[in-house]
Amino acid sequence: GLIARAVAWAQEKAVKLGQAALLAYLLIDIAVYAVLGLIVRSAFRAMRGHEPWEDPKEFLVAAAATWAGNNATRPLRLAGAAALAPGVQWA
């Protein structure tokens, strides 16, 4: 489908651009993890009334939610890295 074609396009472009694509992907990945971590923490705090790191089990739940959200955005991150790689390569 559409997502498979987008991922294939992004992977093809990433191979062509090499290190610039990898750097662009890592920059996007760090930003996504940071935003998702804040969203999960805020939601957790609003639902439970305390920070997730106050209990090891709840921290693992929050970490898993952040990881799952990050995995759901992989096609978008790949496409974004392919789009940003020429600019990273230029810089």
d(CA 65, CA 71): 10
pLDDT beyond 90 at 35: yes
Contact 41, 52 (CB under 8 A): yes
Q: For 15-40, what is the mean pLDDT?
A: 88
pLDDT beyond 70 at 14: no
pLDDT beyond 80 at 15: no
pTM attached to this predicted model: 0.70
Within 10 Å of residue 59's Cβ, how many Cβ atoms?
Answer: 14
Q: For 5-30, what is the mean pLDDT?
A: 82
